[in-house]
Chain A
Amino acid sequence: MSLAALTPDTDIALWLNQQTEKSLLRFLTCGSVDDGKSTLIGRLLYDSQLILDDQLASLKKESHNRTVGDEGIDFSLLVDGLTAEREQGITIDVAYRFFSTDKRKFIVADTPGHEQYTRNMATGASNAELALVLIDARKGVLTQTRRHSFILSLIGVKHVVLVVNKIDLVDYDEAIFDRIVAEYRAFAEPLGFSTLAAVPVSALRGDNILAKSGRTPWFDGVPLVPYLETIQVAEDRTLGKMRFPVQWVNRPNLDFRGFSGTVASGVVKVGDEVLIASSRRPAVVKSIVTMDGELSQAVAGQAVTLVLDREVDISRGDMLTHAGETPEFSNQFQARVVWMSEEPAYPGRSYLLKLGTQLVPATITDLKFRTNVNTLEQTAATKVDLNEVATVTIATDKPIAFDAYTSNALTGGFILVDRISNATLGAGRIDFGLRRAQNLTYQNFDVNRDVRSQMKGQQAKIVWFTGLSGSGKSSIANLLEKRLTAEGRHAYILDGDNVRHGLNKDLGFTEAARVENIRRVAEVARLMADAGLIVLVSFISPFEKERRLAREIAGDIDFVEVYVDTPLEVCESRDPKGLYKRARAGEIKNFTGIDSPFEPPTTPELVLHGAENEPAVLAEHLHGWLKI
């Protein structure tokens, strides 16, 4: 519809409808330095008549002494925004550009080709549905081309257009085009793109941009813009499993409590039963509130406020889902990370992980291998450097809700943040959770912990003993259990060494294995306490993080941390199992107190001084303190 034919007020609604009905395509351009990305985008803006008169005038002035096309303009000047870049002649950051044709609106991320700025390309790719991979016809497929294509597949861009640029500089030679396309297709085959088209263009001269060029009669494909206007890329995220990450608790007064957020995928309707991913507690959606009125349903992409039918404990970072299609909820997963910082990533170092609205401390527990982005070969590594991609396992300080990145990028993509500088160090995509219980929904039974505890005439709880080997943990726990049993209570001791012989005999002593060891013991303790027992856990558990994990797993169960504080010399002189002697002799590595640290608890419920009193006295004191 032409504007000239319209009169204000009467036809504007028609025209506006035409505007809003246009679909949106977000794409990025990537390739090596000097492949002509900025020139191509400038050409797209120019050809879609987005360059206004005053911009054109200043552009012609600035194009003096530069390589120009038939129009007398250096198109790259349109998009190279920063003075520093103009001086260096390279694009150093992601720039977003907007243009539209009669059929579509486009948001273009212009991403840099310079090697040190690969992180920006991953950034541009994370919000793009399609990528233009530029190649200089004179140079062919380069290392950067491979690197960028690999990152595209890693970030999950499904559609690629190979733009063989500067075809005018190789005399529009068909053989050169065919050779480049064949080489690229062979490389890209394992990357699994859904579509891959190739176009020979000259961004400077405008060949095969809007229409077929007479200078490439041999090209039988679709020119660039018509291709971008018509390719179908939209995945319908409303078809996915419902994910509603709670972003902000909306509480204007005591009568209203809503949960604001954006539906990440699927559809949520009034009357739906939803589950809170962390607590697995159910609730029913009472209303969906917006300023434009209440809705009967909200679909993926909509920002709404949900009101539930009952008082439930929900805060920012929680995720609401439907029963039967809950996300994984775990504190360990395998992921691939792109490292974006000069400071390398090391296993064991603590970072902040942000996934959706969840923010938790996290550690890379295992660095499995590094992927060579040029050959896709996997090699062993001890650290991850800037612009490298590695496969890792990550443990978070508390469980988080997530999906595999392939099923949902918004609930499977995360960033890692430095705990001191707060810089964004890397980005990752979750491959799978390492606690494979994701499809289980907690069943609420009528006979619950309270009922079972009452039958036993006691209050279920977990008493967690921490302290050095030989500090007296097991002796005290043993005496306490005898005393409780004599009184008719039901108690049970979980001992670190004994558990290693059975439940955890498959675990070694790597950091990941230690975390898993603690997690399993904490889970068993929780189950036993849920059965109504008083659980006494005797475990060195030297790290604050591990003890915090155990406490978090215990959830609402009464958790008592007892620190048996006995000096190392005393423990070593006792050496009931002869372990200190062996550790001193170097026969045991990573032995707590010898060559591995013990982090004393900062806020234990109770401290028992193992060197000052006999175990019997301490057990008696603890018994009195517990008031069982």
Chain B
Amino acid sequence: MTSGSLTHLQSLEAESIEILREVAASFERPVMMYSIGKDSSVLLHLARKAFFPSKIPFPLLHVNTTWKFREMIAFRDAMAEKHGFDLISHTNPEGLANGINPFDHGSSRFTDIMKTQALRQALDAGRYDAAIGGARRDEEKSRAKERIFSHRNASHAWDPKNQRPELWRVFNTRLNPGESMRVFPISNWTELDVWTYIYSEGIELPSLYYAKSRPVVDRQGTLIMVDDERFRLEPGEQPRQEVVRFRTLGDYPLTGAIRSDAATLPGIIMEMQASRTSEREGRLIDSDSVGSMEKKKQEGYF
């Protein structure tokens, strides 16, 4: 519901803060997913606002596949230091021991083991009853139907036919033993809302979002940055320097860069407004098959 005197962004901010406080007040062991991207950065900022002057009353969890951009990890640690939040980093130990990587095992198997299974391990180990994520309803079709408080059964699965109706701002946060809740405080934000909020609040982001000369290779039309020596070059392939930036951040071998000159936030916002390609296109994991995101969600992917 809107209020006559608040701007659109102020209303969205207040709604998100209310949701974050509801989590802190209603659950015994909440945790906030921290993926270091722009949506996570907005979420972190909102959580600091929600509980000020208290510190964020729950830990932040980063599922580290070990294939993130190096800068993301440095940025993550700097943020934890600066804002004094409790950071938990988890990597699937079996995946690590078996050397699971995106080159030998393919994007879907790698994602399943190092992301989906790793997330379940971390949630089980922490006995977290609520996990806060930065998903938005405008991102993808199956997410448009996601609840703000999304119920998961004891095996972290999402049953689209068994979701609780959400009326007004009254959220049913009750759980039976073993069940958990995924909570999405920025459900009602659009990508443009996220960027304009980052701009107006001066929120820090990893520099990967800004255009810069970076070493890339072209893989079937997708520009992949060669971030470290583990990258497998094809025979005769040579990384070349191109001025690129990233619209989403993830595992560097699976994240496509775009050619861009936008080296400032206003430049990014304007470029985004003029662009005609949806955000998730840069993520290789979604284009596998129709309904792939829904399938991943039912399996427990965020």
We find that the number of chain B residues with CB closer than 8 angstroms to chain A is 73
Q: Which of B14, B142, B291 sits near A303, CB closer than 8 Å?
A: B14
A-chain residues with CB within 8 Å of residue B5 when the two chains form the complex: 236, 238, 299-301
When the two chains form their complex, are residues A305 and B52 in contact, meaning their CB atoms are under 8 A apart?
yes
When the two chains form their complex, are residues A93 and B163 in contact, meaning their CB atoms are under 8 A apart?
yes
A-chain residues with CB within 8 Å of residue B278 when the two chains form the complex: 52, 54-55
Within 8 A of B (CB), among A211-233: none
A31 to B277, CA, bound (A): 32
When the two chains form their complex, are residues A247 and B200 in contact, meaning their CB atoms are under 8 A apart?
no
Which A residue sits closest to B266, measured CB to CB? A12
A-chain residues with CB within 8 Å of residue B277 when the two chains form the complex: 52-54
A105 to B196, CA, bound (A): 14
Among A320-328, A419-427, A521-529, the one that faces the other chain is A419-427
Among B72-80, B117-125, B168-176, B231-239, the one that faces the other chain is B168-176
When the two chains form their complex, are residues A415 and B172 in contact, meaning their CB atoms are under 8 A apart?
yes
When the two chains form their complex, are residues A247 and B3 in contact, meaning their CB atoms are under 8 A apart?
no
When the two chains form their complex, are residues A252 and B54 in contact, meaning their CB atoms are under 8 A apart?
yes
A414 to B145, CA, bound (A): 22
| Interface residue? B190 (CB, 8 A) | yes
When the two chains form their complex, are residues B266 and A9 in contact, meaning their CB atoms are under 8 A apart?
yes
When the two chains form their complex, are residues A20 and B196 in contact, meaning their CB atoms are under 8 A apart?
yes
Within 8 A of B (CB), among A43-100: 52-55, 62, 78-84, 86, 92-98
A60 to B153, CA, bound (A): 36
Which A residue sits closest to B13, measured CB to CB? A303
When the two chains form their complex, are residues B165 and A248 in contact, meaning their CB atoms are under 8 A apart?
no
Tell me whether A421 and B176 are in contact in the complex, defined as CB-CB below 8 angstroms, given that A94-B145, A303-B17 are known contacts. Answer: yes
C-beta contact mask, A192-227 vs B, less than 8 Å → 1, else 0?
000000000000000000000000000000000000
Tell me whether A262 and B14 are in contact in the complex, defined as CB-CB below 8 angstroms, given that A9-B264, A421-B176 are known contacts. Answer: yes
| Interface residue? B240 (CB, 8 A) | no
| Interface residue? A289 (CB, 8 A) | yes
A367 to B160, CA, bound (A): 32
Tell me whether A301 and B21 are in contact in the complex, defined as CB-CB below 8 angstroms, given that A53-B277, A119-B165 are known contacts. Answer: no
When the two chains form their complex, are residues A427 and B22 in contact, meaning their CB atoms are under 8 A apart?
no
Which B residue sits closest to A418, measured CB to CB? B174
- Max chain B Cβ within 10 angstroms of own Cβ: one of A26, A299, A357: A357
The 5 closest A-B pairs by CB, nearest first: A301-B3, A81-B141, A12-B266, A422-B174, A291-B52
Provide a sorted-by-A list of 30 A–B residue pairs whose CB atoms are within 8 angstroms. A20-B196, A26-B1, A52-B276, A81-B294, A93-B145, A96-B144, A123-B165, A126-B168, A236-B3, A237-B1, A237-B3, A238-B3, A248-B25, A250-B54, A251-B54, A252-B53, A252-B54, A258-B53, A260-B50, A262-B17, A289-B53, A300-B3, A300-B5, A302-B6, A302-B14, A305-B52, A354-B172, A355-B170, A409-B1, A422-B176
Residues of A within 8 A of B (CB): 3, 6, 8-9, 12, 15-16, 19-24, 26, 52-55, 62, 78-84, 86, 92-98, 105, 107, 119-120, 122-123, 126-127, 129, 234-238, 247-248, 250-252, 256, 258, 260-262, 289-292, 299-303, 305, 316, 340, 352, 354-357, 409-410, 413-415, 417, 421-424, 427
Residues of B within 8 A of A (CB): 1-11, 13-14, 17-18, 21-22, 24-25, 48-55, 137-138, 140-145, 160-161, 163-170, 172, 174-176, 187-188, 190, 192, 196, 199-200, 262, 264, 266-267, 269-270, 273-278, 281, 290-291, 294-295
Known: A247-B22, A303-B18. 18 other contacts (CB 8 A): A8-B264, A9-B267, A12-B266, A19-B192, A62-B290, A82-B141, A82-B294, A83-B295, A127-B168, A247-B21, A289-B53, A291-B48, A299-B5, A301-B6, A301-B14, A410-B1, A421-B176, A422-B176
